């Protein structure tokens, strides 16, 4: 379980990015973190594993107070937190398998990580993960030969290779087309359910967040202005978070996207492609 208590962050520039943010994420819960640009979503995700140092407040992973750990212990604690990034952060010239195995680098002794020698159980696990994310036939391909969606699947498998207790996901679909975005969100949700893994997903697309998470936290100007189920996110709340928008038009557009998807899948089935 993750607990964030009274977290605040003011950058050296004087920008107040987070003010007194508190929430808990129990095991297996996937939280969509939404809010306009500059609301503090990335800062919040990064404060959890102290890639950004909070100015005040606490972060607990289970009983462990992440915020009070000295550097060396923080490194150990970070192994318990998997991160998935918008731009995938893969090593382009390495193979898919090597990228997944790099998720273990925090665990293996330095000399072994240097020679990239991994034990059989790491390899077995990586193969299983690649199978789970639908890439078992791509293990030897170089990362730079993959599509965006495939890259993000590698990013997911890599995060899982370290057996995390928490997933921090930063704009996982920002570089993907709508259909692939939905597939990636579905995959993350399924994997968290299978592993009883809590996750926070920073996602700018409200409709995606509503369709693929069961709880949404809305940030505005560094403060939590909504914390509840997707159904409760009505036009009034959305306007409070984002300001005035035509929410009906936005929903219609997303809905027609869904229909296009469904029609495509049907056509592919009829043509015997899937």
User: Which residues of this chain interact with ligand ATP, rule CB under 6 A?
Assistant: 11, 13, 15, 17, 35, 37-43, 204
CA 139 to chain centroid: 22
Rounded CA separation 138/188 (Å):
20
Shortest distance, position 44 Cβ to ligand ATP, whole Å: 7
Shortest distance, position 33 Cβ to ligand ATP, whole Å: 8
- Considering the complex, state which of residue 84 and residue 133 has its C-beta at the smaller distance from ligand ATP: 84
- By DSSP bridging, strand 166-170 and strand 199-202 are parallel
Rounded CA separation 268/100 (Å):
31
- Considering the complex, state which of residue 204 and residue 214 has its C-beta at the smaller distance from ligand ATP: 204
Q: Which residues contact 236 (CB under 8 A, 6 or more apart)?
A: none
Shortest distance, position 57 Cβ to ligand ATP, whole Å: 15
Shortest distance, position 260 Cβ to ligand ATP, whole Å: 27
CA distances from 8 to 43, 46, 272 (A): 10, 12, 54
Tokens of 85: 């990034």
Shortest distance, position 14 Cβ to ligand ATP, whole Å: 8
- Considering the complex, state which of residue 52 and residue 139 has its C-beta at the smaller distance from ligand ATP: 52
- How does DSSP classify residue 29? -
- Considering the complex, state which of residue 28 and residue 38 has its C-beta at the smaller distance from ligand ATP: 38
Shortest distance, position 241 Cβ to ligand ATP, whole Å: 11
Rounded CA separation 44/19 (Å):
10
Residue labelled with tokens 């000399």: 111
- Considering the complex, state which of residue 39 and residue 159 has its C-beta at the smaller distance from ligand ATP: 39
DSSP calls for 74-118: HHHHHTTEEEE-TT----TTSBHHHHHHGGGTTTS-HHHHHTT--
Shortest distance, position 40 Cβ to ligand ATP, whole Å: 4
- Considering the complex, state which of residue 101 and residue 199 has its C-beta at the smaller distance from ligand ATP: 199
Tokens of 151: 């890259």
- Considering the complex, state which of residue 17 and residue 160 has its C-beta at the smaller distance from ligand ATP: 17
Rounded CA separation 136/73 (Å):
35
H-helix or E-strand spanning residue 142 = none
- Considering the complex, state which of residue 107 and residue 226 has its C-beta at the smaller distance from ligand ATP: 226
Shortest distance, position 217 Cβ to ligand ATP, whole Å: 12
Residue labelled with tokens 């750990």: 69
């Amino acid at each position: 379980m993750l607990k964030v208590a009274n977290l605040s962050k003011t950058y050296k520039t004087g920008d107040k990015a987070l003010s007194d943010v508190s929430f808990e994420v129990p095991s297996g819960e996937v939280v969509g973190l939404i809010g306009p640009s500059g609301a503090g979503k990335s800062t919040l995700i990064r404060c959890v594993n102290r890639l950004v140092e909070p100015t005040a407040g606490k972060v607990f992973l289970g009983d462990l107070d992440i915020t009070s750990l000295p550097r060396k212990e923080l490194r150990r604690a970070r192994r318990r937190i998997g991160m998935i990034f918008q731009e995938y952060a893969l090593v382009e010239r390495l193979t898919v398998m090597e990228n997944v195995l790099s998720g273990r680098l925090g665990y293996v002794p330095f000399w072994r990580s240097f020679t990239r020698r991994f034990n059989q159980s790491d390899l077995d696990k990586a193969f299983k993960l690649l199978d789970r994310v639908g890439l078992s036939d791509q293990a030897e391909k170089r990362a730079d030969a993959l599509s965006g969606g495939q890259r993000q699947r590698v990013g997911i498998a890599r995060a899982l290779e370290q057996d995390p207790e928490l997933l921090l996901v930063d704009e996982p679909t920002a570089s993907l087309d709508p259909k692939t975005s939905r597939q990636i969100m579905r995959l993350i949700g399924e994997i968290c359910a299978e592993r009883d893994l809590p996750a926070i997903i920073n996602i700018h697309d409200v409709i995606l967040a509503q369709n693929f998470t069961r709880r949404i936290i809305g940030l505005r100007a560094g403060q939590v202005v909504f914390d509840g189920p997707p159904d409760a996110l009505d036009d009034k709340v959305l306007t409070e978070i984002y300001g005035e928008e035509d929410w009906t038009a936005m929903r219609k557009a997303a809905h027609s996207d869904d229909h296009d998807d469904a029609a495509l899948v049907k056509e592919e089935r009829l043509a015997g492609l899937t």
